[in-house]
Amino acid sequence: MAAREAPAKNGGARRGWATLPPVKPLLLALSLLVVPSLLAGCTGGAKPDDTADTSADADTDADTDTDTDTDTDTDTDTFTGSGLLRLVGSATVIDGVYTGTETVLFEADEGNGDELCRIELTLESIATLTTCETCDWAYTLQITDVLATVADADACAAVGWADPPSAVGTTLAYGFDAEYFGHAAVLMVHDGEGWQLAGYASFDDATDTFSYDLEVGFFPY
């Protein structure tokens, strides 16, 4: 974005103001007009036009500014705060099968307030993926069930969940990378163009349990 031009400081030069004429030339100009007319009156000479000046200002412009604001926009701003959207998931991953849940959780006051929207998704794998080169495993998951336990219609709509039941049948692509760039265990998500880091995750080899708690971001409600 281009930087905005800073306004001129008080006392700065103002554009459009004409320079006032010097005093002496102005007085000289007035004397050239006034003195000859006085001399003519003193010598009794006839004026070029002895008729009475009957001219009158014929400007009858009675225009009045009747411009009124006719903007009838009655929109009201219903913004009340900023909420935190989280995705909290858990699953078991055994013998190439992923079975789990994911909770879409929208909380008021940037995550410190009440739950505004809670939607429980059931996820089941329908295919194994090999396109995530750094992943320990990856699957195509399908949403097989949706349960909205806390559903403020406006709040859910604010985070893209205006119609939770319509999500049934939607597919996702999730993968697990135990050492992302050699540092941390993470959830990888395919966004349609490539695999992207979603956030921290964990996988317990002893129990075959996968879990994650992702902070997606803040949204107005």
For 117-141, write each residue's pLDDT tens digit: 999 999 999 999 999 999 999 999 9
Task: Give the β-pairing of 209-220 and 171-180.
Answer: unpaired
pLDDT tens, residue by residue, 151-196: 789 999 999 999 999 999 999 999 999 999 998 999 999 999 999 9
Q: What is the pTM of this model?
A: 0.64
* DSSP states along 62-89: --------------------EEEEEEEE
Q: What is the pLDDT, as a whole number, of residue 37?
A: 41
The answer to whether residue 116 scores a pLDDT higher than 60 is yes
Can you give the pLDDT at residue 70? 55
pLDDT per position as a tens digit, 16-46: 333 333 333 333 333 333 333 433 443 444 4
| Element holding 143 (H helix, E strand) | strand 137-151
Contacts of 219 by beta carbon, 8 Å cutoff, 6+ apart: 82, 83, 85, 106, 158, 159
pLDDT at 17: 31
Confidence of residue 58 (pLDDT cuts 50, 70, 90): low
Q: Is the pLDDT score of 72 beyond 90?
A: no
What is the average pLDDT value for the chain, to the nearest integer? 77
Bridge partner residues of 100 (DSSP): 91, 123
According to the model, what pLDDT value does residue 47 have? Answer: 44
The one-character DSSP state at 114 is: -
pLDDT of residue 28: 33
Q: Is the pLDDT of residue 89 over 50?
A: yes
Beta bridge pairs of residue 97: 94
CA distance 131 to 137: 10
Q: Could you tell me the pLDDT band of residue 91, with boundaries at 50, 70 and 90?
A: very high
Distance CA 34, CA 139 (A): 101
User: What is the residue type of 218?
Assistant: F
